[in-house]
Amino acid sequence: MERIPQEAQRGTSSRKPAPGPVPPSSKAPRSPRGDSLPRQPAEPDVLKDQKPVGRIEGRAFVKGSGDLQDVDPNDVAQGQLGDCYLLAALAAVAKTDPDVIRKMVRDNGNGTCTVTFHLPRLGLSFLGREVRQVVVTPDVPVQGEGSSQPRYAQVGDREVEGEGPSRKEVAELWVLLVEKAWAQVKGSYGAIEGGHPGQAMEAITGQASDSFRTASKGEADLLKDLEAASKAGHPVTAFTPPDSQVEQDETWQKLAKDKVVHGNHAYTVMGVEGREIRLRNPWGMRHPKPLSGAEFKTLFLEVSINRA
């Protein structure tokens, strides 16, 4: 399965515009079914080259006023890191099956959370998948000393709870916790710049993703496949061509500007309404306008449909 061009090589050009060591777990890791798992090697300290770092106070899940439930695609907002593929995948799964995310991120009750991934065994997908649990704290790179704004994945909702002296703001952390855990799996934050959203969905759900080039299907078949995936509740992502392929393509550039689509970028496919494809930008803003099947085929290079 192909990685997103350019982004995989040197970091995406479509980052959102700029606005201590992990303690060991005191409990033996367990699978979602409760089975004991072998302890993993010590995770890399992904914060050692990141300054400044701050602790973001909050909890994994908070139901915001605009959310249908505590896990919502609206929680996802990319920061200054080229991991659009991961954030688009998280939003896709949050849309179709929020319970997958709730099971993925577990509060340990001691200031840490355990994030569960399903990774190819020995790095080889044909050998099946194995559970990898990563313990993280909400200490992440921030915008400045003393800041409560993360530099990379942003918090979801911020809700004010309590009255009087006990009144406090609670931030939703699940997206930035997953991003940090993914960085620990890969070795650093820099190592997660660039990747394939279909593979990211596999790591989140444990189920395979089927990917295809938009050029391989006619407009009617493309719409039919996306409608079927939406009705079946399958997470869907798509990505655009690398800038090098389209920077001299005036037709692509004109349509992309009109439809608010960026090159070398991954998106969540939210569904098909009235034969128009609706998408979500993992930046949490500048979402594309609805696209016809023909427009989608012109602007997007590849689609991934996860079997979860």
* CA 70/CA 98 separation, integer angstroms: 8
* CA 259/CA 5 separation, integer angstroms: 22
Strands 168-172 and 58-59 come out as parallel
Confidence grade of residue 306 (pLDDT, cut at 50, 70, 90):
very high
What lies within 8 Å, CB to CB, of 239 at 6+ separation is: 4, 85, 88, 197, 264, 265, 266, 267, 300, 301, 302
Tell me what pLDDT residue 16 has.
Answer: 59
| Mean pLDDT across 233-248 | 97
Q: Domain 209-306: give its CATH superfamily.
A: Cysteine proteinases (3.90.70.10)
Residue 171 forms beta bridges with which residues?
58, 158
**pLDDT surpassing 50 at residue 3:** no
Tell me what pLDDT residue 38 has.
Answer: 41
**pLDDT surpassing 70 at residue 237:** yes
**pLDDT surpassing 70 at residue 23:** no
Range in 12-26, 81-95, 109-123, 166-180 the model is least confident about: 12-26
Q: Which tokens go with 122?
A: 């020995």
Confidence grade of residue 125 (pLDDT, cut at 50, 70, 90):
confident
* CA 68/CA 20 separation, integer angstroms: 35
The residue ranges of every structural domain in the chain are 7-23+44-205, 209-306
